Amino acid sequence: MSQESKSNKLEDHPLMDESKPFRRLLTNWFSENAKDYPWRSTSNPYEILVSEIMLQQTQVVTVLDRGFYRRWLEVFPDFKQLADAEESEVLRMWEGLGYYSRARNLHRLAKIVVYELENHFPKDVEQIEALPGIGKYTAGAIASFAFDSPVPAVDANIARVLARLFDFQERIDTSVGQKQIWEWAADLVPSSGGRIWNSALMELGQTLCGPRKTFCNECPIAESCRCVEPLGLPIKKLKQGVTNIDEHVILNIRNGKVLLEQETGNRRKGMWKLPTRDKKEVTKLDLITTQNYGITRYKVKMHIYKSKNAQLNENEKWVSLDDLALLPVPSPYRRALELITKV
């Protein structure tokens, strides 16, 4: 079918024909195939909020299989427990998930809910979006999953499904593309509630309508899909290539203490790490080991040198090896310390 003969008007799409059971086909498929995630068995806004914040930049398998979600709820079971915690404790519990601004925003949000909103989490999607660290998707997800509000929640999975359903031949990462996808999503949400519908669309994108593999012959709404070449959609700007970076840090241990530096940048503010040095400062030091780790689009090679210099730079202090487990330390440095010091 030619591009000119197609229409992107929602009323022309088969999904909007109430005489055809497309919504029921999708939700029935979901009821039979839904993954058993713990946040799907609760309507507690706090538990759903925690899951959504963790999943913003982290895969489900990491959040669940490595126990981050379970441990977090054991230590901070509600807004009050989180609000009253020290930031260092919050960051320590977040360690291993990365993108630590998420933890700080979650901490700030809990304080607002407890001490400004009298422990009442808002139900209105716009009020939810006004909270720290909450964007349009997360607000919609919480409103629909916790309160069954008939609002859209467009994550990468739903955006991909909708782009293929409508054979959308424009970039979805532009303001125009985003607007169109959100309009479709909003119009498709049943007035009876968004919890099951949004979950079903996400599940479809996670399983049968993936970014690199599709199972169109198993899709419950395949007959309504206009896409001819699903792996060509959605259209997005090409990602930037990986940038290689060399990082030079020192390991300085004396009298049962290790020298650490507290991060001041936005990404890992408040976390503790091995002190960074310029390359020229470590040329005469013995190299202990090198370790690789990734962060966003950067591939970092961390060179660790043995140092005996007792001089402290700004934001550095001596920390007892026995206290290391209590401090928030980014995973690459934690692994290095455990390997080298056998902490």
Distance of alpha carbon 314 from the chain centroid: 32
Residues of the domain holding 321: 243-341
Query: Using an 8 Å Cβ cutoff, are 233 and 53 in contact?
Result: no
In order of 27, 32, 146, 160, 225, the CA distances from 22 in angstroms are 9, 16, 25, 18, 11
CA atoms within 13 A on the CB side of 198: 31
Query: Running DSSP on this structure, what letter comes out for residue 279?
Result: G
Q: Which of 106, 182, 199 is nearest to 145 (CA)?
A: 199
Considering the domain architecture, whether residues 163 and 277 belong to the same structural domain is answered as: no
Query: Using an 8 Å Cβ cutoff, are 310 and 254 in contact?
Result: yes
pTM of this prediction? 0.87
52 annotated active-site: yes
pLDDT in tens, the chain (343 residues): 334 334 455 666 666 665 458 889 999 999 999 999 999 999 999 999 999 999 999 999 999 999 999 999 999 999 999 999 999 999 999 999 999 999 999 999 999 999 999 999 999 999 999 999 999 999 999 999 999 999 999 999 999 999 999 999 999 999 999 999 999 999 999 999 999 999 999 999 999 999 999 999 999 999 999 999 999 999 999 888 899 999 999 999 999 999 999 999 878 899 999 999 999 999 999 999 999 999 888 999 999 999 998 789 999 999 999 999 999 999 999 999 998 876 4
Q: Residue 6's pLDDT is what?
A: 45
Q: Residue 36's pLDDT is what?
A: 96
Long-range contacts of 101-107, Cβ-Cβ distance < 8 Å, separation of 24 or more: 101/133, 101/266, 101/267, 101/269, 102/53, 102/54, 102/56, 102/57, 102/133, 104/269, 104/270, 105/53, 105/132, 105/133, 106/49, 106/50, 106/53, 106/82, 106/132, 106/133, 107/82, 107/83
Within-domain flag for 252 = yes
Q: What CATH number is associated with residue 133?
A: 1.10.340.30
Looking at 199, 232, 265, which one is the last position of a domain? 232
Residue 151 is encoded by which pair of tokens?
A: 């609002």
Within-domain flag for 237 = no
Within-domain flag for 301 = yes
Within-domain flag for 161 = yes
Within-domain flag for 114 = yes
Q: Which of 4, 18, 47, 52 is catalytic?
A: 52
Query: Using an 8 Å Cβ cutoff, are 75 and 93 in contact?
Result: yes
Residue 79 to residue 125: CA distance in whole angstroms: 19
Query: Using an 8 Å Cβ cutoff, are 332 and 298 in contact?
Result: no
Considering the domain architecture, whether residues 54 and 95 belong to the same structural domain is answered as: yes
3-state secondary structure 219-282: CCCHHHCCCCCHHHCCECCCCCCCEEEEEEEEECEECCEEEEEECCCCCCCCCEECCECCHHHC
Looking at 232, 253, 285, which one is the last position of a domain? 232
Considering the domain architecture, whether residues 254 and 226 belong to the same structural domain is answered as: no
Considering the domain architecture, whether residues 135 and 186 belong to the same structural domain is answered as: yes
Within-domain flag for 164 = yes
Within-domain flag for 330 = yes
Q: What CATH number is associated with residue 303?
A: 3.90.79.10
Query: Using an 8 Å Cβ cutoff, are 261 and 313 in contact?
Result: yes
- Label residue 109 exposed, middle or buried (CB < 10 Å: 0-12, 13-18, 19+): buried
Query: Using an 8 Å Cβ cutoff, are 198 and 158 in contact?
Result: yes
Considering the domain architecture, whether residues 67 and 172 belong to the same structural domain is answered as: yes
Considering the domain architecture, whether residues 193 and 302 belong to the same structural domain is answered as: no
Query: Using an 8 Å Cβ cutoff, are 223 and 280 in contact?
Result: no
Considering the domain architecture, whether residues 66 and 183 belong to the same structural domain is answered as: yes
Within-domain flag for 238 = no
In the chain, the number of structural domains is 2
Considering the domain architecture, whether residues 192 and 336 belong to the same structural domain is answered as: no
